[in-house]
Amino acid sequence: MGRFRVLEEIALADLALEIEGDGLDDLFATAARALAELTVDPATLDGRVERRVTLDAPALDLLLYDWLAELIFLKDRDRDIFPEVEVRVTAGTPSRLEATLRGGRIERGATVLHVDPKAPTFHRLAVEPLPAGRWRATVVIDV
């Protein structure tokens, strides 16, 4: 199971995250969970929403940028937040992500709101392998 923590010393007004996962799939799934939990209390979302997403990017860090950007886009366009995702990431040229997103809709007055992510940034953006097949990512999100 992946984990994430907020790096408080970086970019004071924004949200710097360090994310670790048991493999690339878990890393990208954990990034989605982190984004959802920092945006709202997922238990207070309305209904069930499911969506499929496929993305291609020339490198893994660009794929992470595109992944977070897509989730933020869906948050604004549809008001949907996806705490649970099944992700399959294939590293290569290009790297590919295929995901099934599950979550719910923001219900004004009922959903507990936290921060409103605006965009992922390239400041300190990194995706790197760790021993034993684990992966780590660093990303600063503008909030």
Return residues touching other proteins (CB under 8 A). Answer: 6, 8-15, 39-40, 58, 62, 65-66, 69, 72-73, 75-77, 79, 106, 108, 111-116, 118-125, 140, 142-143
Q: Which is nearer to other proteins, 93 or 132 (CB)?
A: 93
State the nearest-atom distance from the C-beta of 98 to other proteins, in Å: 20
State the nearest-atom distance from the C-beta of 64 to other proteins, in Å: 12
Question: How far is 13 from 107, CA to CA, in rounded Å?
Answer: 26
Tell me the H-state helices in the chain. 24-39, 60-77
Q: Which is nearer to other proteins, 12 or 132 (CB)?
A: 12
Q: Which is nearer to other proteins, 24 or 106 (CB)?
A: 106
| Residue the block writes with tokens 């004004």 | 108
Task: Please enumerate in sequence order all residues whose Cβ is within 8 A of that of 140, keeping only pairs 6 or more positions apart, or say none.
Answer: 10, 11, 14, 15, 16, 17, 120, 121, 123, 124, 125
Q: Which is nearer to other proteins, 53 or 140 (CB)?
A: 140
